[in-house]
Amino acid sequence: PRNASKEIERCNPATQQRLRPIFDKTLLIFEQGLLMAIIHGELASNNIFAKADEITTIFDFETTEYAPRILDVAFSYLSFVYDEELDSASVRKELLKGYNSAAEIKLTSQEEDYFPTAVRYVSAATAAWCFSRGYKEYGEKFLRAGDKE
């Protein structure tokens, strides 16, 4: 998330025109007084090892930052709905339920209200990363996944 603006600037002008309105509209996520935490920034199934339904290792901390914690939940959500194989409403319900069952501080109603905004922000930021490196197909998938919320 912290480098999203830089990633958009690296995209071609047509892609910038697509991403900038989404990005600008969702930046408000940082101005709402949502609970902040040190977040992973890319908490997806490909950055987690598990054994027997227990997480054993989380790795790839290069995107760690202090930001609204709902952004980590949003990225996890996107990683599950990205391939369009799972029902997005079910993923959201189970992800929020699982987060709240494990978290010391459960998500607030305000965080849950801003979940769609967080998803769209993370979707645009991740798509920008993909587009700026020539991974157009992946960028499009992230944008589609962000539209599901």
Alpha carbon 134 to chain centroid distance?
Answer: 20
| Cα-based angle 81, 82, 84 (whole degrees, multiple of 5) | 65
5: number of Cβ within 10 Å: 14
**CB-CB contact of 47 with 60 (8 Å):** yes
pLDDT of residue 81: 92
Per run of 10 residues, the mean pLDDT along the chain (length 149 residues) is 82 95 93 91 76 79 86 93 91 94 95 97 94 96 89
pLDDT of residue 53: 79
33: number of Cβ within 10 Å: 8
Contacts of 51 (CB under 8 A, 6+ apart): none
Strand locations in 3-149, DSSP E?
36-39, 48-51, 54-58, 65-68
Return the closest-CA partner of residue 25 out of 109, 119, 111: 119
**pTM here?**
0.90
- The structure tokens listed for 53 are 């339904």
**CB-CB contact of 28 with 105 (8 Å):** no
